[in-house]
């Protein structure tokens, strides 16, 4: 996969970039986001609470469940910003159609992606069942957009999955922007076959046949993209990666010496056993591709789904 020089736009909670926008006047600066990821992405910071004029420091707000309605108020009920936040969220997310992903601050009543405290009206009883007002609006408008919370990016598997989806989502958007054709759609699927296999075998079996009839190209493309991004949301496992690597290994059976075949088999086995990271068999396959070029395999996004400098295949 070729990566554009232009940086992908990633939405992000402003506090994660060190901006002092939290209710206590502080921030939740993420060194990983600010120092490392900023080399690869153009961040679009948003703080809904500051955007509606609450200022910092300010009175803290919470999600309050009143029947079927979610209110956003201060704990004592003296401040109610439900209307303001809903209006801002609706207007803001409509402007974010160029994003390739979003990184949220966890637990926030505006930006929390999941498990936000939701209080029963008139009590201090809360359950972790809420979604931040702004986060909900964004995810409802762009249900296939890759989203994640900063804290979860410390998990190597979750992190690799998120950025795999970011680059795939961006790749699709670039293709659509260039003008959708039957050939481009078929080529897109061809390049992503083994990545889909690694993430969700059932989708690997179903997405191909979907392209058999392209008489209604736009409709099929929409169905395909939904299935494609849903497939990638499934986290690849050691078993599924191993299966995919073995499929790719089969393309070299006529080229490799007995010793080379054994070396590749051993590297895949070590990955499967957890002794070596995924990067080890991937690197060896790429080495053999330089020696024995195979266009179909060289085009597979699976071997290069994101820039190597992100170091996403070292940790698992």
Least confident of 2-6, 78-82, 143-147, 243-247: 2-6
Q: Per-residue pLDDT for 294 more than 70? A: yes
168 shares a domain with 315? yes
Are 183 and 286 found together in one domain? Answer: yes
**Same-domain status, 145 and 162:** no
Total domain count for the chain?
A: 2
Q: How does residue 130 score in pLDDT terms, banded at 50, 70 and 90? A: very high
One domain, residues 164 and 250: yes
Last residue of a domain, one of 103, 134, 151: 151
User: For position 314, what pLDDT does the model report?
Assistant: 79
pLDDT-wise least confident of 160-169, 182-191, 213-222, 306-315: 306-315
Domain containing residue 210: 155-316
- Which pLDDT score is estimated for 2? 61
Q: Are 206 and 221 contained in the same domain? A: yes
The reply to whether 297 falls in a domain is yes
Instruction: Tell me, yes or no, whether 144 and 174 share the same domain.
Output: no
Specify whether 108 is located in the same domain as 34.
Answer: yes
Q: Is the pLDDT of residue 287 over 90?
A: yes
Q: Is the pLDDT assigned to residue 223 strictly greater than 80?
A: yes
If DSSP states are collapsed to H, E and C, what string results for the chain?
A: CCCCCCCEEEEEEHHHHCCCCCCCCCCCCCHHHHHHHHHCEEEEEECHHHHCCCCCCCCCEEEEEECCEEEEEECCCCCECHHHHHHHHHHHHCCCCCCCEEEECCCCCCCCCCCEEEEECCCCCEEEEECCHHHHHHHHHCCCCCEEEHHHHHCHHHHHHHHHHHHHHHHHHHHHHHCCCHHHHHHHHHHHHHHHHHHCHHHHHHHHHHCCCCCCHHHHHHHHHHHHHHHHHCCCCHHHHHHHHHHHHHHHCCCCCHHHHHHHHHHHHHHHHCCCCCHHHHHHHHHHHHHCCCHHHHCCHHHCCCCHHHCCCCCC
């Amino acid at each position: 996969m070729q990566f554009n020089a232009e940086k992908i736009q990633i939405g992000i909670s402003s506090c994660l970039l060190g901006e002092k926008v939290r209710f206590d006047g502080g921030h939740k600066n993420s060194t990983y986001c600010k120092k490392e990821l900023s080399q690869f992405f153009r961040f679009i910071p948003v703080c809904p609470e500051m955007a509606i004029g609450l200022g910092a420091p300010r009175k803290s707000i919470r999600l309050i469940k009143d029947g079927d309605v979610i209110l956003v108020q201060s704990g004592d009920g003296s401040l109610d910003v439900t209307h303001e936040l809903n209006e801002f969220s609706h207007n803001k997310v409509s402007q974010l159609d160029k994003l390739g992903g979003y990184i949220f601050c966890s637990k926030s009543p505006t930006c929390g992606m999941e498990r936000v405290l939701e209080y029963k009206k008139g009590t201090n009883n809360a359950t972790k069942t809420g979604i931040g007002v702004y986060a909900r609006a964004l995810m409802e408008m762009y249900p296939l957009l890759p989203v994640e919370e900063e804290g979860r990016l410390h998990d190597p598997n979750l992190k690799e999955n998120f950025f795999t989806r970011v680059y795939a989502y961006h790749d699709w958007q670039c293709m659509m922007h260039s003008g959708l054709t039957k050939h481009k759609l078929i080529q897109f699927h061809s390049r992503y076959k083994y990545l889909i296999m690694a993430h969700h075998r059932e989708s690997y079996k179903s997405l191909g046949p979907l392209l058999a009839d392209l008489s209604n190209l736009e409709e099929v493309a929409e169905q395909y993209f939904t299935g494609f991004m849903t497939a990638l949301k499934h986290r690849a496992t050691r078993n599924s990666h191993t299966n995919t690597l073995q499929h790719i290994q089969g393309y070299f059976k006529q080229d490799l010496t007995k010793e080379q075949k054994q070396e590749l088999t051993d590297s895949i086995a070590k990955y499967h056993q957890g002794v070596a990271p995924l990067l080890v068999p991937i690197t060896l396959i790429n080495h053999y591709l330089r020696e024995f070029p195979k266009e179909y395999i060289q085009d597979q996004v699976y071997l290069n789904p994101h820039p190597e400098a992100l170091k996403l295949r070292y940790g698992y």
